Each structure stands twice: as structure tokens, then as C-alpha cells.
Structure 1
Amino acid sequence: MLSNKQQIEEANREVEKIKKEVEKNHWRLAYHLAPQANWMNDPNGFSFYKGEYHLFYQHHPYSPEWGPMFWGHAKSRDLAHWEHLPIALAPSEDYDVDGCFSGSAIEKDGKLYLMYTGNKWTGENRDTDLKQVQCLAVSEDGLTFEKIKENPVMTETPEGDIHPYHWRDPKVWQEGDYYYCILGSKTKDEKGQVLLYRSNDLISWEFLNVAAKGEGNFGFMWECPDLFRLDDQDVLIMSPQGVHPEGDLYHNLHQSGYILGTLNYETGVLDHGPFELLDYGFDFYAPQTTIDDKGQRVMIAWMAMWENEMPEQEFRWAGATTLPRILTLNNGKMVSEPAPELKALRQNEVSFENIKMDKELQLTGIEGECIELRVTIDAKEASTFGLKVRVNEEENEETLLTYQVEEETLLFDRNRSGKGPGGVRKAAISLRDNRLQLHVFIDHSSIEVFAQGGEKVMTGRIYPSEKANGISFFADQEIVIVSVEKWEMKQAFVEGPTNNVGGMNV
């Protein structure tokens, strides 16, 4: 078997060969992080280290389909501009031969440690024939990582009602004199839960307890947990698999959300409230957070969904991340707003104020496929109003954002958005002073909608034709567009210093 270093060199060469071709694709994102080529899923190891944000991700560098997982890597000084870096981890050891699965990062003694799940298939059945262990890799510069000789640092699940094969996605943090780690898990009869561990050196771990467990419609496996303090609350973010639809909720294959509570660090139990979604759109999974030098709690998620059609695969890439979002609490609910640093990407502003309209209206200069849009609408007497984006009348393409006043519901309709999956998602949201505020980010093949200052967010991938750049406002009665601001968005990716990897520059 090739060493970790050799596999990384080979994988980097593979990506380098086709990345220029991938860049030509008209669905290629300009200001969202996506792999330079081939497959991406969960963000991993999101951390603030030596003055820079580091984001790793699940990466298959050899095809645009899921495969044996490597860790891709990018970094940013400001959450707006990103630099691609060489691959950080490869599945090079017997304990991770079939994948370096998801995990997290922490700084210790000036070094950056990655904690991840090593995966090994033991047969054909992907649900029962697997061995998962928890592992560490370490770097002194945040670029080159070595797997530690003590790996794996966790080898067996604890005793009790804990599934013996499925425990993964460690999120590690420090509290007082100890390091803590939370892991996604499930019970033997398929109920999602999370496991809490403690260590004083990151290497020897003690199991504390099942910190939280699903009851009722709470899924059969909780993936990608993240636990942190926000204001005076402990927040557990996780991605439960197998939650059944309820009314307008839970219509994606898997969900991502949070619970608020208090973690007892002695007993290892989280006393918590109800589950709430973090995003009400189509494409949002495996969110992970970090805290930066400004004290901001920043979250990034995978902007895709398992088992969905991904038309970009035809062009040799797949998957992307959401924009970085700043998390705050307001009256016991999570608020997600786009990182303010993204304003650095704005250019060529166009704005209007106090426009009365009914039926349908286009405004000169309010259009585009790579833009940021801020809109405030006074509903007046309208019962339905909204906007159409990525419109191409010739191809009958449009993506609809519709507000229904009586139902107090925002709809995201991508049934005519072009190629790829369709569908409608709904978010319950109330007008404030009879007004609706939308903050919309459009990036070639994605839309993120922040409603009422981030009270609700809806994210989705769309795949329209290149000519689909129209925007129009509509209403069934007179409304007032109190304000609309549009900016074109610059390319977010910068060329960093030369990193010589395997005889090539990347």
C-alpha cells in the first residue's frame, strides 16, 4: 500500500490534471468553496489556526462520485477569499484503508490536530460489514499532516445500548483541563444518539455517557455532531438520518438541526429542548462550526443532499459548501446570518427605493447569475408576492421565492429551475411591520435565502441554462418594494504561495 504522502501526491496530480477543464463549467461556483475537481461532501476540521480559517472536507479525488475518502483542504484569512491547498489526508493505513471519514480539528501546543474516523469494510453489506475507529493526525504548519503512531486512539464502542459498528464523526473541543469529544452513534435498535468522551492528552479517551438520545421521530443515526456554548446555552448540532416528514418539515432525505440545553460535564448528559432545523431548503447537511478571534461562532455545511441527482457530475465535479454563517441566539432560537466579511466580494451596486407595483415588474440592472440581493417588501394588501430569479423565458426557466401572507409561509420552488431535482420547500415565517426582508445569494448553481435577518434560511442547488439571469417581482395586489440592493460578486479564490507537492506546483 502506498504511504499517506505518496497517496496524497498521486491524488493531487489527478486533481491538477483536470481542474482547468472543470473551471469552464457554467455551473461552477464563483464564491462558494467547491473541490477543484471530482467529489466533495461533509466539511471537516473547520478551525481558526494561526490567524487563518482552515476548512477540510470529505473528498474523492479520482471521480465525481463518492469513493474512498481523502481530506481536501482550503484556507481563508477573511471568510470571503479562499485558497486551495494540497490534500491533507489519504486512506493509507489498515485502520482507515476504506476512508478517512469525517472529523474535526483542535489546536494543542501550537500544533493543529485532526481527529477523524478511520473506516474499513469487512464485507459487502455497508451497514453491518464495517470497522470504524477514531484516529489523529498532527501538523506543525497547518499544511502537512502526519498520522500519529498511537492510532487508532479509540478502537471499540462502549458497552451498553450502543451499535457496535456505527460511531463516527468526532468533534473535539477543550473545556477546563480536559479535552472532550462527541461522536455520532445509534442504539442497537436504530435510534440516533451521541456519545461523549473525555481525555487529558487527546490520545487516551474515557467514555462518559450517552449525552443525548432520540425519542419519537428523531431518526436512526445522528451524524456529524458538534457541541459548543453560545451565550448561556449549550448547543448540540447534528444531522439525524431517517426523520420522517411532518407537515411542511423534514422532506429531505436527511436533516440537519440543533437542540439547546445544558451539558453536565460530570455526568456527561445533555438536558435539552426540542429539535429545530438549521435550514429549510433542499441542500444542507453535516454543518460544522468554529469560533474565531472575533468571538464569532461560524458555521459551514455541505450544500448538497445524499442520493440527489447532481448534474455537475457530468463536468467532473460534485458538491460544494454553503457560505459561512454567523450563529447567534434570539429568544431561544438560532439565527443564521451570512458572514459580514462577504461584503468584500461586492462590486457594481444597483439600488432602488419605494417602488409601488402589482402583477409583475423588472427593474433595470437587477439581474444576474452571480449576485447578492437585499430586498425589503411592504406587503400592503397582497396575499401572495415574491420574486422570480434565474429567469430565462425562452427556456421556461425560473426559480420562485413566494410569500403567502395568510399562511405566513415562504416557499422556495425549483420545479422550473433547469436540470436537476425539482420540488418545493416551505418555511414558516411572520412579517414584521407588514414587511418581508430577504437576503439572497445566487452563485451560478446555488441559492441561499436568509429571511427576516436570518430567522429562517433556505438553501438549494439549481442548474439553469447560462442565459437564465432575469429577476422579476410579482404580487397579486399592490406592494411596495421599500428597498432593493444588488451587487455582482467577485471570484473568491486566490492563488496562494507555491506549495511543491510531488514534483508539481499546486
Structure 2
Amino acid sequence: MTLLIANAEQELNAKRERMNMRWYPHYHLAARAGWMNDPNGLVWFDGWFHAFYQHHPYSTQWGPMHWGHARSRDLLHWEHLPVALAPEGPEDKDGCFSGSAVVNGDELALVYTGHKYHGDPASDDNLYQVQCLATSKDGIGFTRHGQVIDTPAGLHHFRDPKVWREGETWYMVVGARVGDTGQVRLYRSDDLHHWEDAGLLAEAQEGMGFMWECPDFFTLNGKQVLMFSPQGMEARGYDNRNLFQSGYLVGQWQPGEAFSQQSAFQEMDHGHDFYAPQSFLTPDGRRIVIGWMAMWESPLPEQQDGWAGMLTLPRELTLTADNRLQMRPARELESLRRSWQNWPVNTLKNKALRVMDECETTEVILEWDLSASNAEQFGIALEEGMRLYVDAQAQRLVLERHYPQLGLCGQRSVPLPQSTTLSLRVFFDSSSVEVFVNDGEACLSSRIYPESRKLDIFAWSGEAVLKKCGAWHLE
């Protein structure tokens, strides 16, 4: 173990003892202590799911990036492992930025961005980002191989490699910025060590952002999906309300050919907190995605408790015939269910009803009969801080949080589905809520910070009808 990794481990062990756990998640992955952002290197290797992540072990603020590391048999119960990468070489002296992991024979290979300044770090003119390689036989200790792709001439922002294999050839997409235009660049290799420039895969058109971070490229339903996080998209009505977005384009691609785009950019998650998603394949062939459940330049109240940031629940991806990406909770989540509490509610009219005194590790199931409901607003409320409700006048499902003392207030929403039933699966953890609408039609993920956890169900200015309602208590 290198000195920098040993120092990070010592720091994490000391900080863990002093953490306030009031908002620390029970069944989401978070760092042992300190800062966490983007998920990296999601992969199945040697009988384990591995999740790496951007990590600053020395404080709850973003800082020189390390790679945190955890593994799991079931995507739910995570075992923390030693820090995998620390910024200790000339190629990554200012940070080991985001990247990916692949299995190459009996080795686990990490491909990541080395972040460095040649001179004053206050100027991007001195910034250089290169792609680096590290490998491991046991999936725990890594041998560094240094830089494998240099910064292209004229570029400074060039990061977040995602690697996959087509036949005998390795491919890599990397996010880039040229002037104020975001790009995804393509590379290929026979051995992960020597890479050849394969040209431009995709580029932002007007209004599509100045930098495309965390690209991912994969096949679903016979088509190719380019998933990425564009910076610099302006809000339009209900769309693009967060500082930065995460979404996708759908098209067709074959090695040696251009990517033929067949859909407009679509956001993946419409909550307050979802960024930098990365996908991987399970041994049974499912495409799973996990994102960072936070948002840049948003208050993170848990920083005062000794930690910051968490990852979303794992979600299974499918692609519809009309090129819409759908996300459903990974089926493994059902194994967390313990006891079912049925709520004896069928009709609500101009009232609120207490249904739970302690809603913390809970999966709420709701099926609203939209055709029989005429209330102007109806839904659920976690005390004064969070509401999830139908706005019948706007014809939208709204996720609202209201924590003015923490600087976190606002709404995110999606259109109501065309069907007569609104089916919701709502996952609560200590400081998060994730809403899955009509079996994958939409998702909303947000951080919440309740002082108490009493849950009400309500309908105002009219009547609302439920076909099913209740909650699973989760392990």
C-alpha cells in the first residue's frame, strides 16, 4: 500500500469515529467519511460487484480526488475496501478524476483521468487532463501504469473515460470541451495500453452545453445509447432545472462508422439530485445504472456531520421502441423488504391522514385512480419538508422540498402519464427520496433532511381515490 493511500486510510478511520450518523444512509452507498461524488468503475469482477467513486478522504469538501472503493454481492450491502487510487504520480498529481473499470482476462483494469496543472492552477491554460491505467489481480490493490492517452493539442478539459469491448477491440469514449462546445471523442486499442484516435463520436449543437462530462456508450434493444452529463444547458420551462443535467441520445453506430443520432436529448431523472450516472452489465445481462445523488453548487447539510454525498439506488435500464430510456429499481431491492403495512385508505377528501410515525427506511407503494380523482392536489407529505403530489391544474406530478433553514427549497416535476392509474414506488432513506413512476416512465431523486419522519397522505380541494396504498419496511 502506498504512503498516500495509507495516510488516507488512517484519516478515514479517525474521521469515521466522529461522524454524526443522523442523515447517513442505511441502504445507499456513501463514503466512510469525507467527500464523495461521481460513481466510477462500476463492474462485476471475481464474484463481486465493485463500485469506485470520486472521493476526498481529508475533508467534506471537494479536493484532490482519490478513488474510494466498495464491493457487494447483491448491490445493496456494501463492504468498504481500501482507497484504490491516490494522486501520487506526475500524470495525476492534482487528482485522480472519473473513469471506468473493465475485466481483461484475470485482471481488473481501471482507466481514469489524471488531472494536473503545469503552473498556476488558477488558469485553465495550465490545466492538462490525460487518461491513465491501473490494474489489479485481486480487485483490491492496484498497480499503476501511468498515462496511456495524452491531452489532445489545443484541449484542456478532456476527461471521464468509459471503456468497453467490441469483439477483440477495446473502445473508449472521453468527454471534452472545445471552446464552448461539448464533445465526446472516441479511441480504440488492442491491449488497453496503446490507444489510437478514432475521431469524434458526438458534438453539442447550439444550446447543448459547453462540456460533456461522464460519457457512457452502450447498446440496448439493438440501438446505441450515448449517456452523458452536459454542463451549460439553460433551463426551459420545466426542463433542465438543475445547475447541470444528465441525459442521453439514442442512435445507431458500428465500429468505423459515425454515430447516427435518432432522438433529441432527454433528461434521465427529474429530481433535484442526479448527476454523472454510469452503467455496467450484470452477469445475467441486465444494464444497471447508478448516479451521484447530489448536485454541484447545492447545499450539502451533511457536511457538518463529517461526510458528503451518496450514490443512488441501482436501476435497471430498458429502451422503448420510441427511444425512451426507462429506469426501474433493480430487482435486488425487493430482498430488502421485511413487513408490509397496508394503509386502510380508499378515498380522501379535503383532509390529511397520518399513515406512518416513522418513515425512514421505507418503500411506499401508491396507486392513484386518476380517472376517479378530482382534487386539485393529492399525495404524500413527510412533515413540512417534503411533498410528492399531483397538481391537477398543471397536470404534473410534483416533488417539492422545503428546508429554508438549510437553503434547500424548490420543486421538480414530470407530466402526468396518459394512463388512468398513477403508480408510484417511493424509496425513503435517512436523507433521500427516490420516486419511480408507472414502472419506469419517469424518475425523481432528491436529498431531504427531515427533523422528524411522520408521513401523511392528503387530498385538498376535492376528492382523490386510491387503488392501493401502503409501505414496505426495509432492512
Q: TM-score range by the shorter chain?
A: over 0.9
Distance in 1 of aligned mates of 2:260 and 2:306: 43
Match of 1:497?
A: none
Deviation by residue 1:235-254 (Cα, 9 ceiling, x = unmatched): 01000000001111111110
The residue correspondences of 1:405-416 to structure 2 (distance < 5 A) are: 405-416=392-403
Deviation of 1:389 after TM superposition, in Å, equals 3.0
Cα 1:369/1:474, change in 2 over 3 Å = farther
Output the amino acid matched with 1:191: T
Corresponding residue to 1:92 among 72, 80, 88: 88
Q: Give yes or no for the alignment of 1:137 onto 2:134.
A: yes
TM-score by length of 1: 0.90
Q: Give yes or no for the alignment of 1:388 onto 2:375.
A: no
Deviation of 1:364 after TM superposition, in Å, equals 4.2
Match of 1:30?
A: 26
TM-score by length of 2: 0.96
C-alpha contact 2:433 2:448 (8 A) present in aligned 1: yes
Output the amino acid matched with 1:421: L
Q: Give yes or no for the alignment of 1:276 onto 2:272.
A: no
Match of 1:146?
A: 143
Output the amino acid matched with 2:103: E
Match of 2:78?
A: 82
Cα 1:59/1:126, change in 2 over 3 Å = farther
The residue correspondences of 1:129-278 to structure 2 (distance < 5 A) are: 129-148=126-145, 151-157=146-152, 164-187=155-178, 189-278=179-268
Distance in 1 of aligned mates of 2:460 and 2:358: 18
C-alpha contact 2:385 2:448 (8 A) present in aligned 1: no
Deviation of 1:94 after TM superposition, in Å, equals 1.0
Deviation of 1:74 after TM superposition, in Å, equals 0.7
Q: Give yes or no for the alignment of 1:480 onto 2:465.
A: yes
Deviation by residue 1:92-146 (Cα, 9 ceiling, x = unmatched): 1011010000000000021000000001123132533211110000000111111
RMSD after superposition: 1.7
Corresponding residue to 1:43 among 31, 35, 39: 39
Q: For residue 351 of structure 2, give the secondary structure of its aligned residue in structure 1.
A: strand
For structure 1, which runs of at least 5 residues remain unmatched after alignment?
Answer: 392-396, 491-506
The residue correspondences of 1:9-24 to structure 2 (distance < 5 A) are: 9-22=6-19, 24=20
C-alpha contact 1:419 1:462 (8 A) present in aligned 2: no
Cα 1:431/1:471, change in 2 over 3 Å = farther
Q: For residue 153 of structure 1, give the secondary structure of its aligned residue in structure 2.
A: strand
Match of 2:287?
A: 297
Cα 1:474/1:431, change in 2 over 3 Å = farther
C-alpha contact 1:212 1:270 (8 A) present in aligned 2: no
C-alpha contact 1:383 1:406 (8 A) present in aligned 2: no
Deviation of 1:21 after TM superposition, in Å, equals 2.6
Q: For residue 94 of structure 1, give the secondary structure of its aligned residue in structure 2.
A: coil
Deviation by residue 1:33-80 (Cα, 9 ceiling, x = unmatched): 111100000000001112211000000000000000000001111112
Match of 2:417?
A: 430
C-alpha contact 1:58 1:71 (8 A) present in aligned 2: yes
Q: With CA pairs under 8 Å and 6+ residues apart, which has the higher RCO, 1 or 2?
A: 1
Identity between Structure 1 and Structure 2 (%): 40
Q: For residue 62 of structure 1, give the secondary structure of its aligned residue in structure 2.
A: coil
Deviation by residue 1:430-484 (Cα, 9 ceiling, x = unmatched): 241x22111101111111111111211011111121x233232324322221111
Match of 2:431?
A: 445
Aligned residues: 472
Q: Give yes or no for the alignment of 1:402 onto 2:389.
A: yes
